[in-house]
């Protein structure tokens, strides 16, 4: 269980972006997070993955602190994957950074063999996003923060990405927090949904997975 307890966070001397935010994400569970632009969703996602520290409150996995080094068990997948990779590396180096994704998974995530030898900067944003999602599924990863990961994809590729991720998450019992402005997407994917507004997290109604 990934647990965030009474988190408060503010940038520098600004008013708190959020306060008293608590959240629980179980193994195999999918929960959704929406909120207006600038509400603090990505910041919360970064905190949950351990990229930054809350001013107050704590984050635990099964009662333990997030590890200070090594593979992050909570992976934050940002909307702009080009910021998360070295643009000069070849695709194969990026993809194999933490583990060696098998060919079946490369195919499921729509990663073409002919991309592997190209520098990552030559991939389109949507192609690179798929590489980064698969790269993040290393053994030992237990939770994903999928922060607007399908925004730049066409509808068919979007569906294929979510199907591939859903299948792999089910197999490994990964917990997934989906951050999106797309309410229909969140309804389709997530059992529970939350809305970040006025620095607080509000629970949306429970949703029955179809």
Q: Of the candidates 2, 64, 1, 4, which has an alpha carbon nearest to the alpha carbon of residue 196?
A: 4
180 binds ligand ATP (CB under 6 A): no
75 binds ligand ATP (CB under 6 A): no
Task: Indicate which single residue of 23, 31, 42, 177 sits in contact with ligand ATP (rule: CB under 6 A).
Answer: 42
Q: In the complex, what is the shortest distance from the CB of residue 43 to ligand ATP, in angstroms, rounded to a whole number?
A: 3
Q: In the complex, what is the shortest distance from the CB of residue 97 to ligand ATP, in angstroms, rounded to a whole number?
A: 25
Helical H segments across the chain, by residue range = 41-49, 91-95, 103-108, 125-135, 155-172, 183-189
43 binds ligand ATP (CB under 6 A): yes
Residues 106-132 as b or e (16 or more Cβ within 10 Å = b): bebbbbeeebbeeebeebeebbbbbbb
173, with CB counted inside 10 A (0-12, 13-18, 19+), is exposed
134 binds ligand ATP (CB under 6 A): no
77 binds ligand ATP (CB under 6 A): no
40 binds ligand ATP (CB under 6 A): yes
195 binds ligand ATP (CB under 6 A): no
102 binds ligand ATP (CB under 6 A): no
Angle at the Cα of 177 (from 5 to 147), degrees rounded to 5? 115
101 binds ligand ATP (CB under 6 A): no
Return residues touching ligand ATP (CB under 6 A).
11, 17, 35, 37-43
């Amino acid at each position: 269980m990934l647990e965030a307890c009474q988190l408060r966070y503010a940038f520098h001397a600004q008013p708190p972006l959020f306060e008293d935010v608590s959240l629980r994400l179980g193994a195999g569970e999918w929960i959704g997070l929406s909120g207006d632009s600038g509400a603090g969703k990505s910041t919360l996602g970064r905190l949950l993955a351990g990229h930054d520290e809350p001013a107050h409150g704590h984050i635990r996995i099964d009662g333990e602190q997030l590890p200070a080094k090594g593979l992050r068990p909570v992976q934050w997948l940002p909307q702009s994957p080009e910021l998360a990779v070295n643009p000069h590396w070849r695709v194969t180096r990026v993809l194999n950074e933490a583990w060696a994704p098998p060919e079946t998974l490369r195919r499921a995530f729509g990663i073409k063999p002919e991309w592997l030898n190209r520098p990552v900067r030559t991939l389109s944003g949507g192609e690179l996003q798929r590489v980064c999602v698969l790269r993040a599924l290393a053994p030992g990863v237990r939770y994903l923060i999928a922060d607007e990961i399908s925004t730049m994809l066409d509808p068919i590729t979007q569906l294929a990405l979510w199907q591939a991720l859903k299948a792999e998450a089910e197999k490994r019992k990964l917990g997934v927090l989906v951050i999106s402005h797309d309410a229909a997407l969140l309804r389709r994917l997530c059992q529970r949904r939350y809305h970040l507004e006025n620095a607080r997290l509000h629970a949306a109604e429970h949703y029955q997975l179809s």
